Amino acid sequence: METLKPKFFEVMKDYSKQQFLKDVISGIIVAIIALPLSIALAIASGVSPECGLYTAIIAGFFISFLGGSRVQIGGPTAAFVVIIYGIVQEYKLDGLIVATILAGIILVIMGLCRFGSLIKYIPYTITTGFTCGIGVSLLVGQIKDFLGLDMGAVPSEFVDKIAAYAKNIKTINTTTLIIGITALAILIVFPYITDKIPASLVAIIITTLIVKFGNLDVSTIGSVFGKLSSKPPLPHLPNVTFKMIQNLISPAFTIALLAGIESLLSCVVSDGMIGDKHNSNAELIGQGIGNIFSGIFGGIPATGAIARTAANVKNGGRTPVAGMVHSVTLLLIVIVLMPTAALIPMTTLAAVLIMVAWNMCDWKAFAGLIKKAPKSDIIVLLGTFFLTVVFDLVVAIEVGVVVSALLFMKRMSEVTDVKSWKYIEEPDVTEGESEKLMSLRKEIRVFEIVGPMFFAAAEQLAVIDSKKYTKVVIIRMRSVPAIDASAMRSLNSLAERAEKKNIQLLFSHVNEQPLQAMKKYGFYDMIGEENFRSDIVDAINYAEQIIG
């Protein structure tokens, strides 16, 4: 079983000066990459630019220090934008802080309960559906700033957003649009020139200089949010009410689930890049503590950022020290250079987020699922996607998980079968088994159950019937891996019917879990130990003895 020991304390045993230098360089580079993203994601989430940087500083430090990965970089990501925006619109910043802290507590509990391995059971169709849905919602949310529309606050609901854009479409600022297109072009083209310098940083520098020295009528961070604070993050506890906690439990759980999925996915990707194995439960605890402190210090929800983690690996980072250096570097930038960020055009940040949204939407995988997946998976995929876009992520995940579970149970009930035997010609039968079944006496009936016996398949036992001359019914259970309470109830009903008709029930080759369940429910004692036989041949021999 995995320990809960953070990776930091494991890797420091063999730490060297050479690796420290590599980690410092990588941490600084990753901080430069994280700077514009943290600001842009904060603004898109409906909070001030400082909140995004505080998140990368505080949560990023604790995620690296106490997490279960050597190279994970934590901070704000696009996955949270839609849900954060909705929380801020309804509960303001205090509500977001409460939701962030609650999500952190949930993540810590998940880690302590060793739930790290359970995250993988979230269906791929759900993760693909809501990821593409988030990407579309994020992209639509940038239209106002990208076009420079003269309108009030953007509504939180998708349909309302589209209606508000359509109403104000005539207020497009041509200059703003040109700057946005320029930034977008740089973001698309520059990576083909070199990947040594972040394209987002180049786009911000160039467009900021154009707007500043061209004295252009383009909205900037400063003109929208006023003077930016260069103070370091300080602890702040919100006004909390019990009703607020009740209302925010569901969004907090969604944030925790998203953080867990994205961080562990990032860990898996980075493991393949460096040939290491992350500690999933320690990672969840680190993510939880990071989110708790992010909320306390005025930040927003955070998780492992795949793109920043990959950049860390690519630039030589191999220990949590790189992530900690990334946080310290951002702190220094906030203290020294934060006022300069006020000059950044809003349309440029919108362009950066449009690229993030596009990269989030793996349309190739989405189209591949629609083309090749079973209909049940397509239903889950499209349902999760449209619910994420039209309603919100909380509803999408809840409905997606429930529908997936129901469809899975339906498939399992379809593969569970109860069939009557007269003879057998299977290649894997035991010696003498085929002959025994082919020469069964008419007073003996054999039924085989194939597949798990659970509530959705329990009614299958109703097909076990008897003839007037039947004296013994053998139920072969070698292919039953598990049984639940509903199936036990059906077995009890079967035993009662058999007793009324003076038919003896025998069970052949009962596996461990079903046998333990039968003992626990008292069924084993009711039927009698002697009526549970090791294999079908033994059961038939015993049945013949009963008949005489």
pLDDT in tens, the chain (548 residues): 457 899 999 888 889 999 999 999 999 989 988 988 899 999 989 999 999 999 999 999 999 999 999 999 999 998 888 889 989 988 999 999 999 999 999 999 999 998 887 766 777 788 788 888 888 888 888 899 999 998 887 887 888 889 999 999 999 999 999 999 999 999 999 999 987 788 888 999 999 999 999 999 999 998 888 888 888 889 988 888 889 999 999 899 989 988 998 898 888 878 888 988 899 999 999 999 999 999 999 999 999 988 899 889 988 999 999 999 999 999 999 998 888 888 999 999 999 989 888 887 878 888 888 888 888 888 888 988 998 888 766 677 778 778 877 777 777 766 677 777 654 444 455 555 665 555 678 888 888 888 888 766 656 666 676 677 888 999 999 989 988 888 888 888 889 888 888 889 999 999 999 999 999 999 999 999 999 999 888 998 899 898 87
| Res 2: pLDDT | 57
> 466-471 — which CB contacts under 8 Å span 24+ positions?
466/498, 466/501, 466/503, 467/442, 469/442, 469/443, 470/443, 470/444, 470/445, 470/501, 470/503, 471/443, 471/444, 471/502, 471/503, 471/504, 471/546, 471/547
CA-CA distance, 426 to 495, in Å (whole number)? 29
Q: What is the bridge-based pairing of β-strands 417-421 and 74-75?
A: unpaired
| Res 1: pLDDT | 46
CB 300 within 8 A of CB 51: yes
CA-CA distance, 200 to 114, in Å (whole number)? 38
C-alpha distances in angstroms, 179 versus 145, 188, 227, 342?
Answer: 11, 14, 22, 16
Please provide the DSSP assignment of 383-428 as one string. Answer: HHHHHHHHS-HHHHHHHHHHHHHHHHHHHHHHH-EEEEES----TT
263-288 in b/e form (b: 16+ CB < 10 A) is bbbbbeebeeeeeeebbbbbbbbbbb
525-542 in b/e form (b: 16+ CB < 10 A) is eebeeebbbeebbebbeb
CB 117 within 8 A of CB 266: no
Question: What is the token pair recorded at 120?
Answer: 């993988």
Beta bridge partners of 476: 448, 508
The full set of domains in the chain, from first to last, is 16-214+239-405 (no CATH), 417-547 (3.30.750.24)
Contacts for 83 with CB less than 8 Å, ≥ 6 apart: 251, 254, 255, 258, 392, 393, 394
CA-CA distance, 336 to 321, in Å (whole number)? 22
The separation between CA 289 and the C-alpha centre of its own chain, rounded to angstroms, equals 18
Length of the chain, please?
Answer: 548
CB 266 within 8 A of CB 313: no
Question: What is the token pair recorded at 135?
Answer: 């990407």
Q: What is the bridge-based pairing of β-strands 417-421 and 303-304?
A: unpaired
CA-CA distance, 351 to 349, in Å (whole number)? 5
Taking the model in full, what pTM does it have?
0.74
Please provide the DSSP assignment of 194-244 as one string. Answer: -SSS-HHHHHHHHHHHHHHHTT----BHHHHH-SPP-PPP--------HHH
| Res 214: pLDDT | 93
Helix 242-274 and helix 306-314, axial crossing angle in degrees, nearest 10: 30
Q: Which residue has the tokens 């992520």?
A: 393
Residue 258: its H or E element: helix 242-274
* Greatest CA separation for the chain: 106
Ranges of H-type helices in 448-508: 485-500
DSSP 56: H
| Res 286: pLDDT | 96
Which 3 state secondary structure label does DSSP give 75? Answer: strand
